[in-house]
């Protein structure tokens, strides 16, 4: 840090020497100058005063200690944690909970995947090749009953991949798919890049920009998952699919054997994915001990509040930032993932929550039904059968039933055509036609059907929606695709007048692009009063990326005030991102350091949760600076993250790699060693460390 301050001082503007001479020799200066003896006396006096002032400043500076941020709190003795052996499997639930078990067994969760069999696999493994321009992939069922893909490429021996698991059952109304995984020799279970869309009987792969049908126009290398590398479970070393495509997935690495072990209860979504480990509960039930003080040894989900209820579903139905691997149901989700803080990076949402890239149903938290109501997932979805119901738990006919809405909005049920302006029974007459239309996931492209119902539950805004990049509900293909957006907007205004205003944080986010003045942007984007955590984090992330940089010499006081107000928000992600922003931009200023230190000391049991999120924010921002070619800004940002979370292995590695890339091998060695001290199980890091040491020795010779 001292080196950084020195670098900034060296950038002070100095007047050229010739300009100084001209000032001294100017006629006006000579005319105003005192006599020579008086001038000498005055100069001596001023010199002595200046020396005294400098000495006082120097002594004060020497004794002014840099404010140190509090170190992480020592972790309390860990309580009994959940392990793989604590799970009993869904079959253990059937005897006592027969009705719920039978509903689950027929549900989309109960049939979300599994071991390969004719009952599970929808794709044709009939020996007919799937042709790429440079490869033939043949799905087959061999004489041993194994499903396989044989990949033949010119100049290579055919590669055979056995299907050891099936992911998905193509249950989505808007276009479901099915994928396949295979066991690899290193103990990982990897996704194969050949997916199937049964609605169109199409094999396709993910080419990065879209889901692309496999054809002679496509090279196999254009599939981003070829060769297979994406693994089941969460691991710090690469891209994974977390714990969602199966139940109780555990991925462990054994350094001595240099291999992984992948365990899971099942590749469908079982009872314990929601209810947590039940082995002890089953034991107590068998011994008739459920009425003991120990309780029932499994959490009753029905008594959870709004956010806690949503958190059960968001384990899988949400995009998340990984804080650490190893999550299992029954552990605290927020210790392993953040649902919002990662939005300082690539934001998958438009300002109002609609999908910009790819996502699940997390954008429910943008809806007024959540923000101003109590709506959770299970208000509409039966958690066991996945069929539809109203808030009174009465079953509904199907996913399009108005009962999902009219049990809360009862006035709309009396004469619905007065609200919808459509005849009952026609397209556009149902609540979901306008407020939950199916929208194709933009990141998927348009070549494979893959649409999801819009869980932001918005008001249709023809014109506004389209300018943002969303096809408005009225312009859906089944409705008024042949009408102009302008005509639809005019009709909407005639019917409803002025539409309900959006929240200020949403309106500000919509207006912010193109605004260059930082203070104006802050007033648009930073809304401490909003009580809209995900929108607040998304807008704050945009502001940080566009208008802030490490250690700015000047920033408007109002911006600092807004950041501090956000840093005291009750939501842990809003609070953390604002603290990280202050640390980024003013982290070397004494008053800011005092503030950050006070905030850290006030965290109590939330200390580790905040620090890990803070570290993730700095890692994301540092990576963004690095990608823009601002290597020093990236290094400073990583350093700030390590100051708050000194044992964060990802930050330590990012800093080591950055120093190595800038040929600062001494610091690279230091941070490789620190990363290995935190996590010795990193064989590739050991190799990088050895190379960095060799490079350092070569420089010294």
Q: How confident is the model at residue 292 (pLDDT cuts 50, 70, 90)?
A: low
Partners of 451 in the beta sheet?
A: 440
- Write the CB contacts of 47 (distance below 8 Å, at least 6 apart in sequence): none
Note the pLDDT of residue 235. Answer: 77
Q: Which two tokens stand for residue 204?
A: 């396709």
3 pLDDT more than 50: no
Note the pLDDT of residue 242. Answer: 74
What would the pLDDT profile of 93-147 be if each residue is shown by its tens digit? 999 999 999 999 999 999 999 999 999 999 999 999 999 999 999 999 999 999 9
Rounded to whole angstroms, what are the CA distances from 681 to 184, 243, 255, 256? 20, 21, 6, 9
Percent helix, strand and coil across the chain, each rounded to 5?
A: 45, 10, 45
The pLDDT mean for the chain works out to 88
Note the pLDDT of residue 117. Answer: 96
Note the pLDDT of residue 255. Answer: 79
Question: Which residue spans of the chain are classified as CATH 1.25.40.10?
Answer: 515-700
452 pLDDT more than 90: yes
pTM of the entire structure?
Answer: 0.87
> Length of the chain in residues, anyone?
701
Lowest mean pLDDT among 68-82, 334-348, 529-543, 673-687: 68-82
Alpha carbon 141 to its chain centroid, in Å, reads: 39
CA distance 685 to 656: 10
288 pLDDT more than 60: yes
Note the pLDDT of residue 61. Answer: 43
What would the pLDDT profile of 24-56 be if each residue is shown by its tens digit? 222 233 333 334 344 444 444 444 444 444 344
Residue whose tokens read 């939950």: 436
571 pLDDT more than 80: yes
- Per DSSP bridges, beta strands 159-162 and 147-153 are antiparallel
230 pLDDT more than 60: yes
Let me know how many helices (H) and strands (E) the chain has, helices first.
27, 17
Instruction: Give the Cα-Cα-Cα angle 318, 320, 321 (nearest 5 degrees).
Output: 175
What would the pLDDT profile of 107-116 be if each residue is shown by its tens digit? 999 999 999 9
Maximum separation of any 2 CA atoms in the chain, in Å: 113
Instruction: Answer for the pair 201, 172: CB distance below 8 angstroms, yes or no.
Output: no
Backbone phi and psi for residue 364, each to the nearest 5 degrees, phi listed first = -50, -30
Does the domain formed by 515-700 have CATH 1.10.10.10?
no
CA distance 575 to 610: 8
Q: Among residues 129, 135, 160, which one has the least CA distance to residue 221?
A: 135
Q: Which two tokens stand for residue 68?
A: 């140190």
């Amino acid at each position: 840090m001292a080196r950084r301050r020195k670098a900034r001082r060296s950038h002070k503007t100095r007047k050229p020497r010739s300009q100084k001479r001209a000032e001294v020799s100017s006629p006006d200066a000579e005319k105003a100058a005192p006599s020579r003896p008086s001038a000498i006396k005055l100069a001596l006096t001023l010199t002595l005063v200046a020396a005294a002032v400098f000495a006082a400043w120097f002594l004060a500076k020497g004794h002014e200690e840099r404010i140190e941020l509090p170190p992480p709190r020592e972790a309390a003795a860990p309580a009994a944690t959940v392990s793989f052996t604590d799970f009993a499997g869904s079959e253990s639930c059937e005897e006592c909970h027969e009705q719920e078990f039978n509903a689950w067994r027929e549900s989309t969760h109960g049939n979300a995947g599994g071991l390969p069999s004719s009952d599970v696999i929808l794709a044709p493994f009939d020996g007919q090749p799937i042709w790429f321009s440079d490869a033939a992939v043949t799905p087959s069922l061999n004489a041993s009953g194994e499903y396989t893909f044989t990949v033949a490429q010119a100049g290579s021996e055919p590669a055979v991949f056995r299907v050891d698991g099936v992911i998905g059952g193509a249950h989505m109304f808007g276009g479901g798919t099915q994928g396949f995984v295979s066991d690899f020799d290193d103990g990982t279970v990897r996704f194969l890049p050949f997916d199937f869309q049964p609605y169109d009987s199409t094999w396709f792969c993910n080419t990065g920009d879209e889901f692309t049908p496999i054809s002679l126009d496509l090279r196999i290398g254009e599939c981003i998952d070829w060769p297979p590398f994406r693994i089941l479970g969460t691991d710090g070393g690469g891209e994974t699919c977390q714990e969602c495509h199966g139940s109780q997935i555990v991925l462990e690495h054994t350094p001595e054997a240099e291999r992984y072990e992948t365990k899971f209860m099942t590749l469908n979504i079982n009872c314990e994915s929601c209810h947590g480990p039940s082995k002890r509960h089953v034991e107590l039930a068998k011994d008739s001990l459920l009425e003991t003080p120990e309780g029932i040894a499994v959490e009753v989900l029905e008594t959870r509040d709004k956010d806690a209820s949503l958190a059960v579903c968001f384990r899988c139905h949400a995009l998340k930032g990984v804080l650490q691997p190893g999550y299992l149901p029954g552990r605290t989700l927020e210790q392993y993932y953040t649902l919002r803080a990662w939005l300082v990076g690539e934001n998958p949402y438009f300002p109002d929550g609609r999908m910009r890239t790819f996502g699940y149903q997390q954008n429910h938290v943008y809806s007024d039904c959540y923000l101003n109501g109590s709506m959770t997932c299970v208000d509409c979805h039966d958690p066991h059968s996945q069929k539809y119901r109203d808030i009174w738990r009465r079953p509904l006919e199907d996913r399009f039933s108005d009962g999902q809405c009219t049990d809360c909005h009862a006035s709309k049920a009396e004469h619905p055509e007065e609200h919808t302006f459509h005849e009952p029974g026609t397209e556009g007459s149902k609540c979901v036609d306008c407020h939950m239309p199916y929208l194709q996931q933009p990141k998927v492209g348009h070549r494979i059907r893959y649409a999801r119902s819009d869980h932001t539950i918005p008001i249709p805004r023809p014109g506004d929606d389209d300018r943002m990049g969303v096809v408005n509900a009225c312009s859906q293909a089944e409705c008024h695709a042949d009408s102009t957006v302008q005509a639809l907007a005019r009709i909407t205004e005639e019917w409803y007048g002025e539409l309900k205003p959006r929240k200020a944080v949403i309106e500000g986010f919509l207006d912010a692009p193109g605004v260059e003045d930082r203070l104006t942007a802050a007033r648009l984007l930073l809304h401490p009063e909003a009580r809209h955590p995900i929108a607040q984090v998304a807008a704050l992330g945009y502001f940080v990326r566009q208008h802030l940089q490490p250690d700015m010499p000047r920033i408007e006081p109002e911006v600092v005030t807004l950041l501090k107000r956000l840093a005291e928000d009750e939501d842990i992600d809003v609070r953390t991102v604002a603290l990280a922003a202050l640390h980024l931009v003013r982290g070397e200023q004494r008053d800011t350091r005092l503030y950050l230190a006070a905030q850290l000391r006030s965290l109590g049991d939330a200390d580790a949760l905040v620090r890990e999120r803070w570290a993730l924010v700095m890692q994301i921002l540092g990576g963004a600076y690095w990608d823009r070619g601002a290597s020093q800004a990236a290094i400073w940002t990583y350093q700030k993250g390590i100051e708050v979370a000194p044992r964060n292995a990802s930050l330590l590695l990012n800093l080591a790699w950055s120093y190595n890339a800038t040929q600062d091998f001494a610091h690279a060695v230091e941070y490789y060693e620190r990363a290995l001290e935190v996590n010795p199980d990193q064989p590739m890091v050991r190799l990088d460390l050895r190379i960095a040491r060799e490079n350092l020795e070569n420089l010294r010779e």
